[in-house]
């Protein structure tokens, strides 16, 4: 597994920077966003350093599938109301034009009653 010693998310995944964890296993870390846009806002990251969605390769398919399969249960656990009245937004910003601020692949899960700070 690769890590970038200068990456803030790699440091969080390694436990060198504290986070409010939602879920963790050997491949994935899920934690609350420090600047939430909505009542529910957490991030899913692979512990492996993948700079962005633009760097995803076929070899990452199982990892990304595992990450996506966690989203519904974690969203419900963290307070999103059930579908279809409730729900959540799943966002993956990629590159400068896509609004990516941290160069480590991550997915935002955002939900809860509206209005939200953003979106």
pLDDT of residue 20 exceeding 80: yes
Cα 25 from Cα 14, distance rounded (Å)? 12
| 3-state helix vs strand vs coil in the chain, percent to 5 | 25, 20, 55
- Domains of the chain, residue spans: 8-111
SS3 105: coil
For 8-111, give the CATH class.
Answer: alpha beta
Confidence band of 115 (pLDDT split at 50, 70, 90): confident
Whether the pTM exceeds 0.85: the reply is: yes
Cα 28 from Cα 1, distance rounded (Å)? 12
Q: What is the mean pLDDT of residues 88-103?
A: 97
CB atoms within 10 A of CB 92: 15
pLDDT of residue 24 exceeding 90: yes
Find the catalytic residue in 41, 49, 104, 106.
106
pLDDT of residue 119 exceeding 80: no
The DSSP bridge pattern shows strands 107-111 and 88-91 to be antiparallel
Residues 3-30 as b/e (b if ≥16 CB within 10 A, e otherwise) read eeeebebbbbbeeeeebeebeeeeebbb
Is 41 among the catalytic positions? no
**46-93 pLDDT tens trace:** 999 999 999 999 999 999 999 999 999 999 999 999 999 999 999 999
């Amino acid at each position: 597994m690769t890590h970038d010693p200068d990456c803030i998310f790699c440091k969080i995944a390694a436990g060198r920077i504290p986070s409010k964890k939602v879920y963790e296993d050997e491949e994935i870390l899920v934690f609350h966003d420090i600047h939430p846009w909505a009542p529910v806002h957490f991030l899913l990251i692979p512990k492996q350093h993948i700079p962005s969605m633009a760097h995803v390769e076929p070899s990452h398919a199982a990892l990304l599938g595992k990450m996506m399969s966690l989203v519904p249960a974690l969203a419900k656990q963290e307070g999103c109301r059930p579908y279809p009245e409730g729900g959540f937004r799943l966002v993956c910003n990629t590159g400068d034009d896509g609004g990516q601020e941290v160069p480590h692949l991550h997915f935002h899960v955002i939900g809860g009653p509206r209005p939200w700070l953003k979106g």
